[in-house]
Structure formats: structure tokens, C-alpha cells
Structure 1
Amino acid sequence: MRSARFALAALVATAVALPLAVSPATAAPRPDHRPAPHVNVKLPPHAQAKFNRLRWAAPEGFYVGTAVAGGGHHLEQDYPDPFTHDKVYRKILGKQFSSVSPENQMKWDFIHPERDRYRFEETDAIIDFAERHRQVVRGHTLLWHSQNPAWLEEGDFTAEELREILREHITTVVGRYAGRIQQWDVANEIFDEEGELRTRDNIWIRELGPGIVADAFRWAHEADPAAKLFFNDYNVEGVNAKSDAYYALVQELLAEGVPVHGFAVQGHLSTRYGFPGDLERNLLRFDELGLETAVTELDVRMDLPASGRPTKAQLMQQADYYDRALSACLAVEGCNSFTIWGFTDKYSWVPTFFEGEGSATVMTEKFVPKPAFFALRSTLNQARRG
């Protein structure tokens, strides 16, 4: 089910060689063609052909997703909420993807800003949109050390109170969307790079002990027995100390009957570093435990030249990374969910957090598809045809 490696170079070369035809300022952006980076081309008659879209190119039962921009760092930018106000963004979101993940709108500081108040409006809108467009939803996230509200991190709570706060939060949020969320990132980034539990910066593990992780899975399962419940982390793409720690923990929890259903690798990659060539092997070992696996937050950032525009060579390398990540997932039977962390550089989180790096998504700020987009689409088409 992997893409033909010899075809990728030709695909990228074609994508970066097409001439300028139409400015995005004078024509509605279309994501379904193969333009040169940062330009649009005249749209052919078959532009909206079904299999020109990522979601329809994919094999049956394989979900291609994206993060839905909003909340978090977006609140500090000089643009209104992307999902609410950008019609072009929303149109592409509905056409290209069969799965969506709220980028920040379900994280604690956004959805639970005060102890006795929840903010559901933005998540409600995303899930309503997904159902109208026949998309599934990944919930993100329930137990994490980051993006917690000040009332929680700075509060003076007993262990019993903290435990009840977490139980109530999981029961309320998961219960509200029961039957409408396909997968949940229940426990997010609970290990450090050495494979040790985050006992210092994760308030739940620090104050309540490691057993709280199992409780979180149990509570989520009680609130929605149909949802698939995942561990999710970065830098676990390959076999290393961090992914080994998850591998050991999952086996312990499964032996105890804890409802753990999946293991997800985020995939925040950089062309500064080599591609994790053992990604497929790593996913396979979790698959052999009976878990579903997923790629949940893929982007490929790069060091930008002084012009701020990537070179052809950089675009080719980026396309190769995207393609190899998708191919690894497709090669593992239980890996049926593949999500990129945003599809346009216009709203990417990368420049905000990685100085000097950017151009990490599959479309430019003007929604022009990059070679990476076409590499994904080609690989999905090949997988669908068998």
C-alpha cells in the first residue's frame, strides 16, 4: 500500500514547474490542482473530480484529518477566529478532509476557563460542521500537563478535590459529545524524553499518582463507551525510550482491564532531522498488542531562507516526509486515522513556537497546494486502488 518512491520525485518536479496563471486575489483558491508553490494555475475542467480530494482519494475506512484552527495562540494573532470567519478556509476544510480535530478548542484552558463554567460554543460549532460534512471528530485532550487554566494550576486543592475535578471534567466533556466523537486523546504527553512519567509538571500525576491515568481512561469510557481512547505524544514516532515507556505501560493497563484502545504518534517533524525510519515498525508493535494506531498531528517544518519562501529542494524533502509518514500508517492494518496539524501556513502554529522555521503545512498562506499535498493524494489514490 505504499506509494511508488520513484514517482514522488516526478510528482514534485511537476508541481514546482507549472507557470503562473491566476492570482489568488482575483480568483477563489482551489486546493485540488497541482500548482507551483506560492502561485495558482488555471483550473482544468476536472478540477473538482471526486478523487482529487484527499478524503475521497483514501481507501474505505481510512480517515484523513486536519486540526481545526482556533483558540490557543490564535487568540494572540491579528486575525479573527479562522474557523468562524474564514469562508475559504472552511470550504477547503469540508471538502478535503474526512476527520477533524479541534486544535485548541477542547483543551482545558479554553473549554473549562473557570471551575464552574464551561465554554462549549466553539466545539459545538466544529462538531455540527463535521456532521454536516460527514466527518468524524477526534477529541483533544483530557489529561495533559500544558494549557491548563490558572484556576486549576494555582488552586489550593486537596487530592480528593483534584480527583473529583478531573472526573467531573471528563464526565462532562466526553458525556456532552457521547456518540459524536470517534477517538479521544485521553492522556497526552505523560512521559518525558527519557521515558519517565512527568511527575513534576503534570498536576494530575504529581498530586494524584500514576494511577490517575488509568482512572481517566475508565471515566472516559463510562461517559462514552463507543469512543476509542488513545495515548498521544510527540517524539514517539520511532522506537526509543519514550515510546518504549508507552509500550510497557499499555501492556500493564491492558492486563488490568483498563479500556485503552489506541496509541497515537503526533508527528511534528523537521527537515533539520532525519525522518524516523522505524515509524512503521513502531506502529506495528502497538498494533500487535491489539491497539488501533494513528498519526494525529503531522506537520513538517523547515528552516526558511531569507526570502521566507522554501526552495524546490526543501519542498521535495518535505513532500517525502509527509509521504513516508502516510505510507507507514497505511502499511499497518490498525492505523486508520491520519491527521495533519493544520493544512495552511496561514494559521500554522509553527512560526509562533519555532523561530526561523515555518512552511510546515501542505498549503501556502494563500491556500495553494504544495508538493506535499500532491504526494499525499497520490499515495492515498494508490492505496485505494490496491
Structure 2
Amino acid sequence: MPHASATHRRHSLFRPLLLAVAGALVATATLTLPHLTPDASAATTLRGYADGRGVKIGAAVGDGPLTSDGSYASVLDREFNSVTAENAMKWDALEPSRGNYNWAAADRLVSHAAAHHQGVRGHTLVWYSQLPSWLKNGGFSASQLNTILKNHIDTTVGRYKGKIYAWDVVNEAFNEDGSMRGSLWQDKLGTGYIANALRWAHAADPAAKLYINDYNTEADNAKSDALYALAKQLLAQGVPLHGIGFQSHFTVGQVPSSMKANLKRFSDLGLEVSVTELDIRIPMPASSAELAQQSTDYKTATENCLGVPRCAGVTVWGVSDRYSWVPGTFSGYGAALPYTESYAAKPAYTGLSNGLNPNA
């Protein structure tokens, strides 16, 4: 999952030929960017369509804009029935020094969500990145590290018991070839840390849905095959795994053709599936053709999940391009979210809306 300065992802930046063709066809077209006013009918908002289908439409939320940008909060509360902390619940933010927790930003989000009748996805308990220096450089033994991990999960999940409907318990545990990613956890504790983390989280809040979350697993490929094998193994062992999160950080025109079938095979295991971090980046400056393709991609990605049994919903990784992580991570790319920097709804908004609306 992204951070404003993240550099760890390695996605394809191939720009498909179809965009060049589409650009030629619509070079003279003018796209009207619709804007929903704050008093728009609730039934025609993203939230209204999602509520009508009994699913979540979520957004990753930054503490800064939530507390300082009224337009950001207004769009968030009108359009989304679920929120995910972009950074406030990651380990470096929560426990910057050992045993000393800073709950302020996470508490603000949970309180805001409760006041606006939004669910909260917890993100994330065990990740290789954004670890505080005391943990990353502490030289702990396997036994000490196991205790530290259990205490962190007990404390964090316990604090929000009954207030968070789902947790991304383990995040980005695999390499692209399907092998286990080397990390503080994998290297010291072995793959068993995943089952332990799920068990500890379940003990701390038995009602929360527990997820493994990863990127580049949307297609049927070596990485998703490995994730599927792990999920089957954990379920066979009685480990409390309830869902799989597919991050879905895409490049325009590159929603995988096998996405729906791939999500379905996880659903067929009895697991929830969710799109957890959807954004679709465009080479800048974005053309009319690319914005139109992005709209189609948002619709397709949403329908790929909602067309599968046990899809719990879709979360986009941000609200507005004003605060997107994409330009700082993928040089030359941007315009990845449904709203412009000035909170005008883009064609992507229409695509997302149509993906949620069964009558579109």
C-alpha cells in the first residue's frame, strides 16, 4: 500500500496502443466533467448506489486533508460509506517508540467515520514497510519479535474492537514470482507469522473480517497462484482468514482481462473479496482519450469485483488528485482518482458510478 514517498512498487508502465487509436478518434471531442453538488440526491451518489447493493464504496483518507480541507471532507462524507486510514494506522505512525502509542490521527478517523455513518477498514497490522526505526533496527531475536508482533496486534485491534469491520492483517507478503517476500517478519519468523497474526487479530476482535492484502494479484499469475495456495492452506488449518484484498493500482488501459475469474476462484473458497486500493494512473498530461479509457477502466474494475459472489466492495486510494500518492512515486504519471485537484468529478467518477449502479 502506498505512502506519499513510497518507491517500492514495480508496476508495468506500458502505454497500450489502443490509447493512440482512441486518441485519434476523439482528438476533437470535448469531455464534460460532471460535478455533483453537495446537495445532490443521495440515491445517485456513489454511496447511494453502494448502499442500495449492500456493499462498501470506500476511500483512503489522509489525516491532513481530513482536518484541514473542507471540500475533501464534504466529498468524502457525501460519496463514501467506508474509509481506510492512508497512513495513520501503520506501525511507524502508531508506535513511533517502543510501547508509546500515538493514537491521535487514527482516533480522529474512527470518530469521523462514526459521526458520518461510515465503516472503517483497518490498515495495516503486519507489513514489511513503514516500520519504526526501533523495530526495524532493533536486532530482536525471533522470540522477542514474536512477542512484539503479538503485543502490537493485541493493542491495536483491541483498541478498536467493534469499531473496525475489517483489517488488512498481513500486507504484501509475496514477491512477483510467487515466493515469499523477504522481510523482518519472514526472515526471522518464517511464513508461520501469517497464521499467528490472523489468530491473534481474531482473538482481539472476533467480529472483524480479517484479510490478506496485496498488489499485482488481480490477474491469474504466479503471484496470485501463490496467494491462492496460501489461502487454501490457511483455511484447511482452520486459521481465521476471511477475505483477500486486491489493491488494484492500475495503469490506464491495463485492467487485467482475467481479473473477474481470478477473484471468483478466491470467492469460491468461501472468502470475501475486495478491491482495496483502486487507482488508475495516466501519463501526463492526460488526453481526452485517456480520461475516457480511465472511466471505462473504473467501471470494469468495479464490475469485476461486484460480479463475483462475496465481493464486499471497492475502495479507491484517495478522494482527489490533489493528494494522490501517484505523481510522487510514478514519474510522469498522475490524474489517477475520480476527482480533480479542485474536486470536479472526472469521467472516472461516472465510470465508478456506473460500475456500482446495476441499472447503468
**TM norm. shorter chain > 0.5:** yes
CA shift for structure 1 position 47: 5.3
How many residues align? The count is 334
Q: Secondary structure at the match of 2:152?
A: helix
Could you list the per-position Cα deviations for residues 117-164 of structure 1 after superposition, in whole angstroms to 9, with x for gaps in the alignment?
Answer: 111111111011111111111000011111111111100211111100
Q: Could you tell me the TM-score, scaled by structure 1's length?
A: 0.83
In 1, distance between residues paired with 2:268 and 2:322?
39
Aligned pairs for 1:145-294 within 5 A: 145-198=128-181, 200=182, 202-271=183-252, 274-294=254-274
The CA deviation string for residues 291-312 of structure 1, in whole angstroms up to 9 with x for no partner, is: 000000000001103xxxx211
CA contact (8 A) 2:299 2:354 kept: no
- Identity rate of aligned residues, in percent? 47
Summarize the alignment of residues 338-353 of structure 1 with structure 2, pairs less than 5 Å apart. Answer: 338-353=314-329
1:17 is displaced (CA, Å) by 3.6
Is this contact kept in 2: 1:188–1:233, CA < 8 A? yes
1:378 positional shift: 2.4
SS at match of 1:289: coil
1:55 is aligned to 2:47: yes
Instruction: Give 3-state SS (helix, strand or coil) of 1:101's partner.
Output: strand
Aligned equivalents of 2:305, 2:256: Cα separation in 1: 13
Give the structure 1 partner of residue 62 of structure 2.
69
Residue 311 of structure 2 corresponds to: 335
| Residue identity opposite 2:214 in structure 1 | D
Match among 311, 319, 332 for residue 356 of structure 1:
332
The one-letter code sitting in structure 2 at the alignment partner of 1:153 is K
What pairs with 1:25-174 in structure 2 (closer than 5 Å)?
34-35=33-34, 48-58=40-50, 59-70=52-63, 81-174=64-157
- Measure the CA separation in 2 of the matches of 1:268 and 1:160: 36
Residues 99 and 138 of structure 1 are in contact (CA less than 8 Å); yes or no, is this contact kept in structure 2? yes
AA in 2 matched with 1:168: N
Distance in 2 (alpha carbons) for counterparts of 1:94 and 1:340: 14
- RMSD, aligned CA: 1.9
Where do 5+ consecutive residues of structure 1 fail to align?
1-8, 19-33, 71-80
Structure 2 residue identity aligned to 1:174: V
* Inter-CA distance 372–204: structure 2 relative to 1 (3 Å threshold): same
1:187-245 CA distance string (max 9 Å, x none): 100000000001x3x10111011111100000000000000000100000111000000
Return the alpha-carbon distance in structure 1 between the equivalents of residues 42 and 268 of structure 2: 34
Query: What is the SS of the residue equivalent to 1:301?
Result: strand
Cα distance, 1:52 vs structure 2: 2.6
Shift of 1:60: 3.0
In structure 1, distance between residues paired with 2:96 and 2:67: 20
Work out whether residues 16 and 371 of structure 1, in 8 Å CA contact, stay in contact via their aligned partners in 2.
no
- Alignment partner, residue 302 of structure 1: 282
5+ long unaligned stretches in structure 2 = 1-21
Residue 287 of structure 2 is aligned to residue 311 of structure 1:
yes
Structure-2 separation of matches of 1:138 and 1:369: 24
User: d(CA) in 2 for partners of 1:213 and 1:57?
Assistant: 35
Asked if the contact 2:61/2:319 (under 8 Å) is kept, the reply is: no
Q: Name the CA distance, whole Å, in 2 between partners of 1:195 and 1:101.
A: 27
What's the offset of the Cα at 1:48? 1.4
Structure 1 letter corresponding to 2:60:
A
TM superposition shift of 1:16? 4.9
Name the CA distance, whole Å, in 2 between partners of 1:116 and 1:217.
Answer: 21
